[in-house]
Amino acid sequence: MPSNTRQPILDVQGVTVSFNGFRALNDLTFSMSPGELRFVIGPNGAGKTTLLDVITGKTRPDSGRAIFDGQVNILHTPEHVLVRRGIGRKFQTPTVFSSLTVYENLEAAIGFNERVDSLFRHVTPQQEEKIHTTLQLIGLEGRAQTRAGILAHGEKQWLEIGMLLVQEPKLLLLDEPVAGMARAERNHTGELLQRIAERCSILVVEHDMEFVRNFANLVTVMHMGSVLTQGPVAAVQSDPTVIEVYIGREREARH
Ligand code: ADP
Ligand code: MG
């Protein structure tokens, strides 16, 4: 099907969020097609994290609307219900169970999305299959029996992405996934995101411009709570307004 006939996986229209009169999001309109790997960039305070908070039901906006997967009105749906409907979010700090093995972490994560406590329940053959596929996808098949607490920083991040993937989200939200990673780990993460995009839509908030250049296709630039511009990474990077508000400010920060 041509992409223009597909309904968006996420459709945010005219959303405004105020904190004591300050507009963190200002009449923001933002939309994503299914299967997209979208990068959102912008200077500190642009409203990127607030956008993720709205999409996950954590923050209620003053006005606007947001539809997920053609039917769920995000703005009136509780956070935990949105998780069950297929929105997975990864925060910056990895939250894995340190004393459990990599395999056990994935096993536990399968249960997050179900009502019953499956931590100590036996996994079904289908679930076991899902865990193995996920281990391969995140590149931790050789670490399955390793305690998560002793994994390297990058490996913990991949495990956490795996813990979201076993819940089979339709939309994955990642806030600065390569922060604190070495170059090799960043490249591995970029390749991982491209592979994951074959099975679900991904929205990545990112600060690392080199990472964005290497792995982004479509980039949305936010500034003062709205979308400044949007397009292929090369076009966005040479856009004078983007250089002014984003890259220019980054240069200032370095001096
Ligand atoms: P970004 O992730 O792009 O750096 P944020 O979405 O975190 O930006 O923040 C956007 C603006 O909203 C910032 O000026 C921030 O200080 C403000 N803000 C975010 N969350 C809150 C909050 N809970 N209370 C008050 N101000 C907030
Ligand atoms: Mg942020």
Task: Summarize pLDDT for 129-142 with one digit per residue, the tens.
Answer: 999 999 999 999 99
| SS3 state at 217 | coil
Q: Which residue, 210, 230, 200, is CA-closest to 218?
A: 230
pTM of the model: 0.90
Tell me, in angstroms, the distance from the centre of ligand 2 to residue 49's CA: 4
What distance in angstroms lies between residue 224's CA and the mean position of ligand 2's atoms?
A: 13
Angstrom CA distances, 213 to 17, 38, 67, 121, 188, stand at 30, 12, 29, 44, 15
Residue 115 clears pLDDT 70, i.e. is over it? no
What count of residues does the chain have? 255
Comparing CA positions, the residue from 44, 32, 36 lying closest to residue 176 is 44
Beta strand pairing status for 87-90 and 171-175?
parallel
- Can you read off the two tokens belonging to residue 187? 């490249």
Query: From atom 13 of ligand 1, which residue's Cα is the shortest distance away?
Result: 45
Looking at the domain 10-28+35-92+168-254, which fold is it? Rossmann fold (3.40.50)
CB distance 42 to ligand 1 below 6 Å: yes
Per residue in 41-85, pLDDT (tens digit) is: 998 899 999 999 999 999 999 999 999 999 888 888 888 888 889
Tokens of 34: 């299914």
Q: Taking residues 148-171, what's their average pLDDT?
A: 95
* Domain definitions of the chain by residue range: 10-28+35-92+168-254
Looking at per-residue pLDDT, the higher value among 93 and 184 belongs to: 184
- pLDDT of 1 strictly over 50: no
